[in-house]
Amino acid sequence: MDDLLLPARALVLADLEARGLAHVVAVSVLEEAVSSRRWWAEQWAEGVAYVPGLVAQDVQDALLDAGTRWPECRLCPEDEPVHVLRVSPELGGPEPVWVCEERGEVVAPLGSLSGPRAL
């Protein structure tokens, strides 16, 4: 099962790192999300393609509960209200992407967010 969950962990960790949030709290949230999805994946083996997106959604929700909005949209101009990207499709897969719902545009595949906004 780890062979299926570690790639999901790596994708979400890459996006946390890209946005400067790979600190101990966020990584702990990520580990908890991967752990909870282990049981889910064991119960529904055909759903493994959905795990990366679901882990990203779990991390996003847990960080929001802790007061951190992640990942913030950098596609929209800085003078527009701050909003977060969402994983699409809603069930997390297969092939999840980050989407700006304000514009209805794909920003990046999961695991491929860019770093700080260019100046």
pLDDT digits (tens, 9 = 90+) for 49-80: 899 999 999 999 999 999 999 999 999 998 99
Tell me the residue ranges of DSSP E strands in the chain.
86-88, 97-100, 105-109
Distances, alpha carbon 62 to alpha carbons 26, 66, 103, 119, in Å: 9, 6, 25, 30
Q: Determine the 3-state secondary structure of 73 from DSSP.
A: coil
Q: Domain coordinates of the chain in residue numbers?
A: 2-109
Q: Determine the 3-state secondary structure of 36 from DSSP.
A: helix
pLDDT digits (tens, 9 = 90+) for 72-112: 999 999 899 999 999 999 887 789 999 999 999 999 999 99
Taking residue 87's Cβ as centre, other Cβ atoms within 10 Å add up to 21
**Which range among 10-14, 30-34, 45-49, 70-74 shows the weakest confidence by mean pLDDT?**
45-49
- What phi, psi does 38 have (nearest 5°)? -60, -50
Q: pTM for the whole thing?
A: 0.91
Distances, alpha carbon 26 to alpha carbons 76, 80, 84, in Å: 25, 26, 16
The per-residue pLDDT for 118 is 44
The per-residue pLDDT for 92 is 77
